[in-house]
Chains A and B, each alone.
Chain A
Amino acid sequence: MGRFVRMSLLGVLIAAGLCLWAWLGYVAIDWAGSATFELGWGATLGQAAAAIVFLQLLFVMILATLLMVAERKWSAAIQDRIGPNRARLPGLSRFSLGGIPHVLADALKMISKEDFVPAKANRLLFQLAPVANLLPILCLFAIVPMGPPVPVRHAFGVLFASLQIANPDAGLLYLFAIASLAVYGVALAGWASGNKLALLGGVRAASQMVAYEVALGLGLVGMMMTTGTLRLDAMIQSQSAGLFGTSWFPAWGLFVQPVGFLLFFAAAFAETKRTPFDLPEGESEIIGYFLEYSGMKFGMFMMAEFVEIITLSGVVTAVFLGGWHLSPVLDDALASAAASLVAWRFAGPPDPGAAALTLAVFQAALFAVKVIVLCWLQLAIRWTFPRFRYDQVQALGWRFLLPLGLVNVFATGLCLLLDSSLGLLGALGLAEIALVVGATLWSSSRPAALPVAAAGGH
């Protein structure tokens, strides 16, 4: 049980670390915003700059790096292995530290490897492609709100500090627009390599992108109709209410739009080009669009993949999992806990500003935890399912997800027309979830039809 205790402690430590990160983030964003405001450049500049540092560099990049090791360690756990544990830090050679030193080893390896450009490659495009792939994906995270806006009183007035880089009105449309750009990097890499197999990978990526772009949009249309907004923070706000008039059942997108969730999640998963949608890579057949890449350029492709996972998790958390909300009653409990913590810590008159900041820190950490759980889910999916055949990928996109999305849009519209309080929509969503869960339990209770389906244990 020692390992159980250690893992629990590790979870607490991670949560505490996330809280610390969120608190520092709020403070820094507010400080930078007020500083630029006082310089007369407007608060947004400083806030965005600080948010970029705290969200992109300290959260996304670090999490993506850790996910590289986590993918290997978690897949090992899924497959009853140990995973990488041989790289050690100097002076700590007795501790494998969960494989974290492999991050350094990998980075060292990628940096020190030969930066190879094939003779027949288009040099400019070949060098450009990894950047063209990674950059739009990094930009995607700009609209993900990781924490609620917190009003901070300054001498010149009140500034709202928020763990969000940008909050355009276009919101999700920005998401669609930028996400489509990422395919240029992949297609360029495939074409510029001067390699038939790499080109095949690029072409596959492009056509897969086209097929799933539609489902991606249709999956979110339901939530746009339900919440009546494109802005992610507004969507989160609208999910804070209770469903069916209760205060304990949250009106998360997952519950009112399960089909939309499925559509969006599947389509976005296809956009990340990971198993079971890893046809553009297809390492057992064509190696894929990054066939000719080595060193840090290949590392950028890999980094883009993991950043995309995090972005996808962030968007799904914001749109379908209630963002930083649990349910109204739990939100209230969290708020009162934050207030009493502040009261206990700063024994004095109640400070609404400090209480709001503490709550926001807790909620931002909650958001990060949801993101991490979703990252784990994506990794688990990648290590559970075999790769589709390419015709199956296209058939799934065009013949299953697209009609389903259309039906979902019309059904959502009908429900909203009949009952604008989401009650009917929630009932429909819960019925759909119950159907899937029931079917799962039913099929689990039946003996396996084929020997190959008899998974479970060794």
Chain B
Amino acid sequence: MADEPKPRAIAAYRAPESRPENLAEYSYVPEALRGLAVSTGHFLRNLLFSRDPSPDVIHRRGPNQVTTVQYPEEIAPYPPGYRSMHRLVPRPDGKPRCVACYLCATICPAQCIYIEAGEYEGDPIEKYPKRFEIDELRCIVCGFCVEACPKDAIRMDTGTHTKPTYDRPAIIYGIDRLLKGPAVSHQTDVWFKRETSAPPEEAHAHPIPRSPGDEPPG
């Protein structure tokens, strides 16, 4: 073509050209009827046939095409890898795997984890969380805490989410509510290497003086 396309005014958005292709389309009526046919098809299918109540919407079958999930009567299954509510993973002896290293509290972008460390007597792992609280209202479910945890002590595999509540303090979850689920153990866990971290008796042959006001932490 000899004539170049005319330069257009530069705009942030320009609607795509959708000129009618032929007279039938230009007259609007056939296209309108086609659209009506589509609507009517959906209407009749959904009106006359039963809805497959499978909560897995993607795998619903049948002529009825309704995709609604009637929560809470029907609950759609969460996809694998879904970041659900936290749990503190227990050790085989029921104590939390957590060693209160604060890495989750450090990485947490929502500042929703509060930890207070305590000390076990005579346990191969010296440190444990006296308090481990997650403000589930503040949590943004990013999963960084799970990524950051060096001890596989916090997971988001419960498959549930935080229960709604009218009570703000009730949604701050402590160890009592977070510590649940199957226990987990790894080959590298310290308790496979040693029974206790307490020094042998002979190391205490001399009395260790207490420092002034030296109470256990907390």
Contacts and interface: CB of A to CB of B under 8 A. Distances in A.
State yes or no: do A and B touch (Cβ within 8 Å). yes
Interface of A: 1-4, 7, 74, 76-82, 262, 380-381, 383-385, 436, 439-440, 442-444, 449-450, 452-453, 455-458
Given A3-B49, A384-B38, 13 more contacts: A4-B50, A76-B46, A79-B42, A80-B66, A81-B67, A82-B51, A384-B32, A384-B39, A440-B30, A443-B25, A444-B37, A449-B25, A458-B65
Which 3 residue pairs across A and B have the least CB separation, nearest first? A440-B30, A439-B24, A77-B46
A122 to B, nearest CB: 40
B46 A449 contact: no
B48 to A, nearest CB: 5
A456 B45 CA distance: 12
Contact of B35 (A80, A385, A439): A385
Interface centre among A2, A7, A82, A383 (most CB of B within 10 A): A82
Nearest to B21: A449
Nearest to B44: A77
Interface in B15-40: 16, 18, 21-22, 24-25, 27, 29-40
A138 to B, nearest CB: 29
Contacts of B40: 380
A3 B35 CA distance: 26
B43 interface: yes
Contacts of B30: 436, 439-440, 442-443
B190 interface: no
B39 A7 contact: no
Given A78-B39, A384-B39, A443-B34, A3 B70 contact: no
Contacts of B42: 77-80
B48 A7 contact: yes
B23 to A, nearest CB: 8
26 contacts: A2-B50, A3-B50, A3-B51, A4-B50, A77-B42, A78-B39, A80-B67, A81-B66, A82-B70, A380-B36, A380-B39, A385-B35, A436-B30, A439-B24, A439-B27, A442-B24, A443-B30, A443-B31, A444-B37, A449-B21, A449-B25, A450-B16, A452-B18, A455-B35, A455-B38, A457-B65
B170 interface: no
B68 interface: yes
A383 B40 CA distance: 10
B47 interface: yes
B43 to A, nearest CB: 5
A381 B36 contact: yes
Contacts of B36: 380-381, 384
A450 B19 CA distance: 10
Contacts of A436: 29-30, 33
Interface in B42-82: 42-43, 46-51, 64-68, 70
Nearest to B70: A82
Chain B CB count within 10 A is highest, among A381, A384, A458, for A384
Interface residues of B, number: 34
B51 A440 contact: no
A245 to B, nearest CB: 30
Nearest to B20: A449
A74 B43 CA distance: 7
B24 to A, nearest CB: 4
A138 B38 CA distance: 33
B39 A443 contact: no
Contacts of B43: 74, 77-78, 380
A78 B45 CA distance: 9
Contacts of B24: 439-440, 442-443
B29 A383 contact: no
A266 to B, nearest CB: 10
B76 to A, nearest CB: 15
B144 to A, nearest CB: 36
A412 B22 CA distance: 28
Contacts of A76: 46
Contacts of B37: 444
Contacts of A2: 50
A457 B38 CA distance: 8
A458 B64 CA distance: 12
A446 to B, nearest CB: 9
Nearest to B50: A3
A97 to B, nearest CB: 16
A3 B48 contact: yes
B33 A456 contact: no
Contacts of A7: 47-48
A254 to B, nearest CB: 14
Contact of A77 (B22, B31, B47, B67): B47
A258 to B, nearest CB: 10
Nearest to B29: A436
Contacts of A440: 24, 29-30, 33-34
B32 A385 contact: yes
Nearest to B65: A80
A453 B28 CA distance: 13
A4 B42 CA distance: 15
Nearest to A3: B50
